[in-house]
Amino acid sequence: MNKRVVITGGAGFIGSHLCEYFLEKSYDVFCVDNLITGSLDNISHLFGIKEFVFMNHDITNYIHVRGKIDYVLHFASPASPVDYLEHPIQTLKVGALGTHKSIGFAKDKGARYFLASTSEVYGDPLVNPQPETYWGNVNPVGPRSVYDEAKRFAEAMTMGYHRFHKVDVRIVRIFNTYGPRMRLNDGRVVPNFVMQAIHNEPLTVYGDGTQTRSFCYVSDLVEGIYRLLMSDSTGPVNLGNPDEWKIIDFANLILRLAASKSGIVYKSLPQDDPKMRRPDITLARKLLNWEPRVKIDEGLTKTLDYFMKKK
Ligand code: UDP
């Protein structure tokens, strides 16, 4: 009998890549999504596969799936700053109530639970790169707190269930990830810059563009997630690409790769926008023998191809 995995947020950007990955490894996949920010376009090519089941369900409500379940992966959440500012209450609820419901479900099934956490738990970090031992610098009442604090609560909930109920858990802290199936208008820097470059519109750099991010291609991330799921380590473990870019340099890179005639226009920096972000992946290297393989030019070229077809 195949192993059976439930993936919340399975119609989202990372979730849909996970669905594919597990199907390729001969799992039965139950994809749970309420389609607030996820999309059926991301999974419609899987509908003919009998090992794939889509459940249009909001994971903040009780979930029932018949039969044994081996793994529960909780990936449901708005994940771009624009999305979680547009859906602040749903973001808080899916991080809090959604974690509660999904981990309670894992406990009932005796399944291993995997929480998708985030580099946002480090807030606007005062150390760079960020190791897992850093406790972070989060503004609890700022606009980003609906996401940051929900994910911090989700980590606490996961560890609470692990310590009190002995649920077998894994926590990953995901850094900026990019690739095909990001929503064209999700407001994050990669879709924005790529769409602007393709349409020969100026790239909107927020602030002076000296803030940094480090970008990991989605296939590298998915491989790391699988390795962490199969490992003996509870985590949290950072997964991301340590290749750190100033946003202004990143804008110029995209202009070059897209052979675009666009210029650059400066816009105001959103409140509490982290000034620097780069994962310390020492732990992932050691525990999972994992590191990213896809170089930025290659990953962005694939992403450009995807957006060209979608535009
Ligand atoms: N950013 C930008 N222009 C855009 C979108 C984002 O300069 O059109 C900047 C944003 O201010 C941040 C970085 O790019 O410093 C990454 O933003 P994103 O929304 O992708 O995610 P974050 O890493 O902040 O969660």
Distance 138 CA to ligand 1 centre (A): 17
* Phi and psi angles of residue 263, each rounded to the nearest 5 degrees, phi first: -100, -160
Q: What is the pLDDT of residue 172?
A: 98
Q: Omega before 236 cis (within 30°)?
A: yes
Task: Name residue, tokens 């990143």.
Answer: 250
The answer, yes or no, to whether residue 249 has pLDDT greater than 90, is: yes
Task: State what percent of residues in the chain have pLDDT above 70.
Answer: 100
- Condensed to tens digits (0 to 9), the pLDDT of residues 95-115 reads 999 999 999 999 999 999 999
Looking at every residue in the chain, the average pLDDT score rounds to 97
- Taking the centre of ligand 1 as the mean of its atom positions, its distance from the CA of residue 55, in whole angstroms, is 32
Identify the residue with better confidence: 311 or 113: 113
C-alpha–C-alpha distance, residues 267 and 257, integer Å = 23
**According to the model, what pLDDT value does residue 8 have?**
98
Distance 189 CA to ligand 1 centre (A): 5
Order the strands of the 4-8 sheet from edge to edge.
52-56, 28-33, 4-8, 71-74, 112-118, 169-174, 237-239
Share of the chain above pLDDT 90, in %: 99
| Secondary structure (DSSP) of 9-50 | TTTSHHHHHHHHHHHHTT-EEEEEE--SS--GGGTGGGTT-T
> Positive or negative, the Cα torsion across 86, 89, 90, 96?
positive
- Cβ–ligand 1 distance for 92 under 6 Å, the answer no
With residue 249 as reference, give the H or E element that holds it: helix 247-257
Residue 247: per-residue pLDDT: 98
Q: Give the closest residue (by CA) to ligand 1 atom 3.
A: 205
Q: Is there a catalytic annotation at residue 147?
A: yes
Are 178 and 79 in contact by the 8 Å Cβ rule? The answer is: no
Q: One of 21, 84, 113, 147 is an active-site residue; which one?
A: 147
Q: Whose alpha carbon is nearest atom 13 of ligand 1?
A: 189
| Residues 147, 152: Cα–Cα separation, whole Å | 9
Average pLDDT for 192-208: 97
What residues does 69 pair with on adjacent strands?
none
The residues, any chain, with a CB within 8 Å of residue 64's CB and separated by 6 or more, are none
Residue 288: count of CB within 10 angstroms of its CB: 21
Q: What does the pLDDT average to over 131-151? A: 97
Under the banding of pLDDT at 50, 70 and 90, the label for residue 204 is very high
Q: Is the pLDDT of residue 311 over 90?
A: no
Rounded to the nearest angstrom, the gap between the alpha carbon of residue 195 and the centroid of all alpha carbons in its chain is 20
Token representation of residue 177: 């990830």
Domains of the chain: 4-178+216-242+278-294 (3.40.50.720), 189-211+244-277+298-305 (3.90.25.10)
Q: Given this model, what pLDDT does residue 31 score?
A: 98
Each residue's pLDDT tens digit, 264-276: 999 999 999 999 9
